[in-house]
Chain A
Amino acid sequence: MSDAERHDPDAPEDEVLGKAFDSVLIGRLLRYVRPHIRLFVATVVTVVSISALSLLGPYLVRLAIDGPIQGAIDGTMSASQAHGELLWIVAIYAIVLLVELGGELLGVVLTNQTGQRIIRGLREQLFGHVQKMGLRYFDRHPVGRLVTRVTSDVEALNELFTSGLAMVFQDVFVILFITIVLFILDVELALTAFVVVPLLLVVSEVFKRRSRSAYRDVRARLSRMNSNLQEVLSGMRVVQLFTQERRMSNRFKDANRDFQRANLDTVFNYALFFPAVEILMAAGLAGIIWIGGRSILLATPGEETLTYGILVQFIMYLRRLFEPIRQLSEKYNILQAAMAAAERVFKVLDTKVEVPEPESPVALPPRIRGAIEFDEVTFAYREGEPVIHDLGFTIEPGERVAVVGATGAGKSTVLNLLLRFYDVDKGTVRVDGHDVRSLALPDLRRRVGIVLQDVFLFSRSIEDNLRLGNPDITRERIERAAGTVNAARFIERMDNGYESQLRERGANLSVGERQLLAFARALAWDPEILILDEATSSVDTETEGMIQDALHKLMQNRTSIIIAHRLSTIREVDRILVFHKGRIREQGTHEQLLAERGIYHKLVQLQYRGT
């Protein structure tokens, strides 16, 4: 196997889509290069000089052959003289090699440095932008896809900047340089060598086309086979219940066979391509030997234009010329994948933030009173399907209110609108008399603490999960908060106490423990308004007692809204709002509402019976 096969077909390739050159996209990408333009230029200069240096080798070999070696053979030079001169050339060669080693290293490092710097800025901008999006955006875009934008798509662009651009400069330079030198040295011989170049281009192009469609086949069939496998694995119970194992096996065999066939096509392509390149290279070599050899032989002594040295230089350069030409189509693929990725990335960056910050926000005093007002609010998550209609209620500072209602009654929407996760379609939500849309988002959200039903914990330490990076919250405050809400006990029991690492989504904690952590988090942040979406999942009696106790302490001296599922919680509040199909249907204290024997009465009997 020659070095032609160094690029193994089994190396993963990027999914290829769309065109390879889009001037608008390129223009926009170049804007990210501008801040690093010096580094970029330095990289290109280094890479190009190193390739120039690497082309010196064959030239030195030619000098040695045509100089001392030929001289000694012809007898125009004494042995010691020839030997001395040879030693000089070899010494220069050795120096060139050493410089090349350093240069090569520098080139690769610089290319990566440039690419990484450019990409780093882009990735951070992208992440920051997604971070600012309203929740509606997250409703519409699956998390997995957004993660792909920030990771694989940005990586494809990284590929463009690291292996793509700089290498293009290098390859183009090498091809141009060798071409020019060959033609200067000997036009006839250069033409001979170049006879195979168009053939090489054709072979590469044909190969590229074939392998691209084969690659697409492989991907498509692989994903079909995998989804078949995934399906059978997930539905194994059904397969076995219906005794369809044999049929499923045959079905998988078909998919497996299809995948194998597509792969064999690819094997065939590569099996054809690699020898083809070698044959062309051999043809070039044969051509040079033929034309060059005859030219030397037939030249009248004294008038030779071609020397052995030049012949050797030709042979050596031919090899160097083939590599970049063969790789042009690979570079093309990188470019194409990068363009597709750029398009997707820019699409995200071009999406406007749906919940905009007000231009001149109303400044809130350091401590607010905590009055809440919903004024004729209508809201729909999906157009035409409003979840709340003309909803109106007020909550006094310090009041504790429970919101109850069946699933889908619109309870959680209160939380979403108050925190401005979404903007109302009609009406106004006010905090201390200010429209929430007139407040700076951090200013608003700082005043409202939430505990969500599905407690979200990060895979970081407990302390980090409570502090969430707020420098104002001291370790002492954290420990006090945890102590107050009865979380300290289990935290201190853990191996590393507050430094214990949580697993993804706090998987190493029980439901009750997660709940208590969320309480501690809310308390440590000390908001003026508290909203709590109670968890429905049941916990044991002991934990339930701790949760209720913590909740009681948490609600003290702050406006509290509880989206309640437990009777014990409801008993704690001053007022209960009964939601039904997007409206408030009943309100009052527990006793008043029970006496009404309406919806609340039913709900209580149904949900709080304690089955």
Chain B
Amino acid sequence: MREFGTILDLVKRHRVAFLIGPIFVLLTNGLRIVAPELVQFAIDFIGAEGEEPSLAGRAVLGMADTFGITHESATIITLTAATILVAALCQGVFQFFMRYVMIGASRRVEFDLRQRVFDHLQTLPPSAFESMRIGDVMTRSTSDIESIRMCVGPAIMYLTNTLTILPLCLVMMFLKNPTLALFAMIPLALLTLAIRLIMPRMYKHSREVQEQMSAISTHAQENFSGVRVVKAFHREQYEIDGFRKLNGEYVRANLRLAWSRGLVNGVINVCAGAGVALVLWLGGRDIVRGDFTLGKFIAFNQYQLMLLWPMIAMGWVLSLLQRGVASMERINEILAIEPAIRNESSASSEPIRGAIEFRGFSFSYGETPLLQNIDLSIPAGHTVAIVGRTGSGKSTLVSVLPRLLEVPRHRVFIDGREIHDIPLEQLRSSIGMVPQDTFLFSDTVRNNIAFGRPDATDDEVREAARIAGIDDAIDELPNGYEQMIGERGVNLSGGQKQRLAIARAIVKDPAILILDDCLSAVDTETEERILAGLRPKMRGRTCVVVAHRVSTIKDADRIVVIDEGTIVEEGSHDELVAANGIYAEIERRQKLEDELERFG
């Protein structure tokens, strides 16, 4: 249970509910024993006049006195029936509050916990989501949080319930007939024992059923995805046979589960029945002897039925707790990940102008070095293009600037200041970055463009769209800027998405603009337009462009060629073409591609 330490404060936040809830459980169960007592009284009252009335019976008789009702049998019966009903009504009210308070509290804890996990996730660097699959995080934040909630809510409720109703019923039964109470408890104790014994079996079988189901699902999934291979090798029948086999195993697993289920059902019914039979036999014998009454016998019967479910629930609660602990461990794993990149400076400083400097910067992913000893200085206001093969480390180099990656110290400087000395928020809001893989939210076009500045005016949004060369395309959408895009809206082409991402960066009005190979999906003509639009906007701002296409970069102040982790060429377009190195090769390829494009 130590695992739950992390959510102790969340539980404490709702402590009133966790304290009041059990009180309602007690009140509910306290009233629950009224009915059997009154039934006993009623039956014995009708039958044997001489019998000493029970506590509940005396209460009814007392009530009759208060209301001035005679002790005539018929009226007393009516009064008893009415009391049963009133007690049930009160019990119902308490029961309502019990459930609403206790389960409701668990929903509140769930809310807080989920929010905490979410907020924690947002502090983790993007790289954390590469090692931790998103699907896995999703599972943890849904089903694991749910099973924690089951512990905090239903498990506690059912546990308190069993722990209160059991002693209450036991006491009432012992008061009536200790021997019989002892015997009556035998089948119930056996029931708990049997459930404890069968439950693990049932879980095992139900896990097997789930596993077989997922085997079927995997088979179907694999078969449907590999349908070309299946068809090309005309393996349809073989696949069908394989499916049939899995299906057969699934059926068998299900039948095994059915056996244990049937056993549970049977055991429950038989234990319940055995209790009745035992009381019938021993109680009946005592009645015949005159030691016991019919009313007590029926009350006994009712107590036994009342205990049935709480006794079964105990086994269930135990497994809920078990699962909850495992889930809590998985959630703790997430919460224990330290955010690697954090703000380390609170000094609010003068605005960033945009001078960038790498001094002997090296970077490696794990053991593999990616960038080695990069020296690069970009004066504020300059445009620098970075080219190189895929995997040469270009994207890594630019991802360092907004500190999306953890940066070694004293290697990267902005405006001459060590990058860690700049408040993270200030750093990031001064950089407009268009990442390589365009990510847009399923939201309106406007909200996507204004993502970094929700307060941007319509004019600013339009202006950014115009510069990014997407304004015409937006106007053509059914709802213009209010058009939903993504999953629940229209699908945009790759080029349109890239341009929206550019507009999104422009709205930020950043001191440093980074375009990380973000024009790959637009044609040369559009690219030309975008670059032309950007030029006046970027005047006086620093611009780092990662690109493949020569046309994108030829006008840059400087071009840097990276190969195998180091800078191999540096200079203007003309200089590099003249140098006849890697850049010149890229330029030649580009020309060929353009020519091929022109073939009809």
Contact = CB atoms under 8 A, between A and B. Distances in A.
B46 interface: yes
Interface stretch (B62-70, B214-222, B354-362, B375-383): B214-222
Contact of A138 (B227, B285, B592, B600): B227
Contact of A238 (B121, B431, B435): B435
B225 interface: yes
Given A73-B287, A253-B115, A602 B161 contact: no
Nearest to B488: A227
Given A243-B429, A450-B232, A237 B439 contact: yes
A360 interface: no
Nearest to B292: A69
A239 B596 CA distance: 40
Contacts of A233: 121, 129, 134, 137-138
A57 B276 contact: yes
A168 interface: no
A143 B225 contact: yes
A160 interface: no
Given A267-B100, A267-B107, A421-B228, A151 B74 contact: no
Contacts of A272: 96
B82 to A, nearest CB: 7
Given A93-B277, A260-B108, A237 B404 contact: yes
B203 interface: no
Interface stretch (B302-310, B363-371, B468-476): B302-310
A391 interface: no
Interface string B408-450: 0000000000000000010011010101000101100000000
Interface in B242-274: 242-244, 247-248, 251, 254-255, 257-259, 261-263, 265-267, 269-270, 273-274
B100 A268 contact: yes
A191 interface: no
A574 to B, nearest CB: 24
Interface string B185-218: 0000000000000000000000000000100111
A606 interface: yes
B484 interface: no
A547 to B, nearest CB: 19
A264 interface: yes
Interface string A107-144: 11101110011001001100110111001001000011
A107 B235 contact: no
Given A1-B313, A112-B255, A86 B284 contact: yes
B74 A267 contact: no
B142 interface: yes
B82 A286 contact: yes
Contacts, number: 392
B174 interface: no
Contacts of B287: 69, 72-73
B137 A100 contact: no
Nearest to A143: B224
Q: Which secondary structure dominates where chain B touches chain A?
A: helix
Interface string A269-298: 011101110110111011101100110111
B247 A241 contact: no
B288 interface: yes
B431 A241 contact: yes
A234 B439 contact: yes
B385 interface: no
A268 B97 CA distance: 9
Given A308-B294, A602-B595, A240 B222 contact: no
Q: Which of A279, A283, A419 has its CB near the most chain B CB atoms (within 10 A)?
A: A279
A54 interface: yes
B227 to A, nearest CB: 5
B269 to A, nearest CB: 6
A270 B99 contact: yes
Interface stretch (B6-14, B86-94, B323-331, B528-536): B86-94
A90 B431 CA distance: 86
A237 B110 contact: no
Contacts of B345: none
Nearest to A263: B107
B288 A79 contact: yes
A312 interface: yes
Nearest to B593: A606
A461 to B, nearest CB: 13
Interface stretch (B35-43, B491-499, B551-559, B572-580): B35-43
Interface in B514-528: none
Contacts of A131: 223, 230, 236, 239-240
A484 B587 CA distance: 42
Contact of B228 (A1, A120, A456): A456
B567 interface: no
A79 B294 CA distance: 16
B77 A293 contact: yes
A257 B115 CA distance: 10
B183 interface: no
B404 A247 contact: no
Contact of B273 (A100, A155, A449): A100
Interface residues of B, number: 147
B114 interface: yes
B422 to A, nearest CB: 13
A511 interface: no
B592 A606 contact: yes
A283 B88 contact: yes
A94 B187 CA distance: 13
A86 B595 CA distance: 105
Interface string B112-150: 001100110111111001000010011001100000001
B394 interface: no
B35 A285 contact: yes
Contact of B284 (A68, A111, A260): A68
Contacts of A93: 273, 276-277, 280
Contacts of A290: 77-78, 80-82
Nearest to B313: A1
A207 interface: no
A282 B35 contact: yes
A580 B599 CA distance: 9
B85 interface: yes
Contacts of A263: 107, 110
A573 interface: no
Contacts of A468: 229, 233, 235, 238
Contacts of B74: 294, 297-298
B218 A459 contact: yes
B502 interface: no
A83 to B, nearest CB: 6
B270 A282 contact: no
Contact of B129 (A72, A113, A236): A236
B247 A123 contact: yes
B259 A83 contact: no
A603 B240 CA distance: 44
A581 B265 CA distance: 68
Given A150-B220, A285-B35, 13 more contacts: A1-B158, A1-B165, A69-B288, A127-B223, A151-B216, A232-B121, A241-B431, A249-B118, A282-B35, A282-B91, A452-B232, A458-B222, A459-B218
5 contacts: A101-B269, A245-B123, A263-B110, A271-B96, A282-B85
Interface of A: 1-3, 5-6, 8, 10, 54, 57, 60-61, 64-65, 68-69, 72-73, 79, 82-83, 86-87, 89-90, 93-94, 96-98, 100-102, 104-109, 111-113, 116-117, 120, 123-124, 127-128, 130-132, 135, 138, 143-144, 146-147, 150-151, 155, 222, 226-227, 229-245, 247-249, 252-253, 256-257, 259-260, 263-264, 267-268, 270-272, 274-276, 278-279, 281-283, 285-287, 289-290, 293-294, 296-298, 308, 311-312, 315-316, 319, 406, 419, 421, 441-442, 445-446, 448-450, 452, 456, 458-459, 468-470, 504, 521, 525, 580-581, 599, 602-603, 605-606, 609, 611
| 7 nearest A-B pairs in the assembled complex, by CB-CB distance | A282-B88, A108-B262, A275-B92, A290-B81, A469-B238, A242-B452, A112-B258
